[in-house]
Amino acid sequence: MTTPRSKENHTLFLLTVGLLAWLIPGAGHLLINQKKHAIVIFVTIVLTFCAGLYVGSIGVINPVGAKPWYVAQIMNSPIVAALGYVATTGDYSVFGRPNEIGQIYTSITGLLNLLCIVNAVYLAHLRKTETAGD
């Protein structure tokens, strides 16, 4: 009777790792005791995302006019949704090269964070499997 319960706990743990990794870039790796990885991921993703916002302003987060980009940007963190709301309610229109660079930067960081989420969940799963194997 203990096996199904531990399996449930394991699934819950994997979900927590994935959710935390999405909430704060690098937090998933922190949860599985990979402190250095977490710091490197957090600093790089946050700096690159901020660089994108600096170049193109928060107007590059456009949930209405640039949905495909927004899907990638939201992978950074749920905070992007709040920024998207602010951007659509205010007048933050941006065009041309700053818009392109800002969108590319913020979207690529979102996809990089997705890679980190998947990696953190995979490593968490792998550790459990290895522990069970021992």
Partner 1 sequence: MSITDAFVMATFTTPEKIGANPQSMLWLLPLVAAIAIVYKATKLPEIKAANFLKEVVILFGSIVVFMSITALVLCAFAWLITE
- Residues between 78 and 117 that touch partner 1 (CB under 8 A): 90, 92, 94, 96-99, 101-102, 104-105, 108-109, 112, 115-116
Answer for which of 22, 27, 32, 59 binds partner 1 (CB under 8 A) is 59
On whether the CB atoms of residues 73 and 80 are closer than 8 A, the answer is: yes
Instruction: Establish if 77 lies at the interface with partner 1 (CB under 8 A).
Output: no
Q: How far does Cα 84 stand from its chain's mean position?
A: 15
Task: Give the dihedral of Cα atoms 126, 127, 132, 134; nearest 10 deg.
Answer: 110
Instruction: Establish if 48 lies at the interface with partner 1 (CB under 8 A).
Output: yes
Between CA 99 and CA 105 the distance in angstroms is 10
Between CA 106 and CA 127 the distance in angstroms is 31
Please report, as a single letter, which amino acid is at residue 129. T
Give whichever of 63 and 102 is closer to partner 1, judged by the CB atom: 102
- Residues between 16 and 35 that touch partner 1 (CB under 8 A): none
Which residue, 5, 37, 2, is CA-closest to 21?
A: 37
Instruction: Establish if 55 lies at the interface with partner 1 (CB under 8 A).
Output: yes
Residue ranges in contact with partner 1 by CB under 8 A: 36-37, 40-41, 44-45, 47-48, 50-51, 53-59, 90, 92, 94, 96-99, 101-102, 104-105, 108-109, 112, 115-116, 119
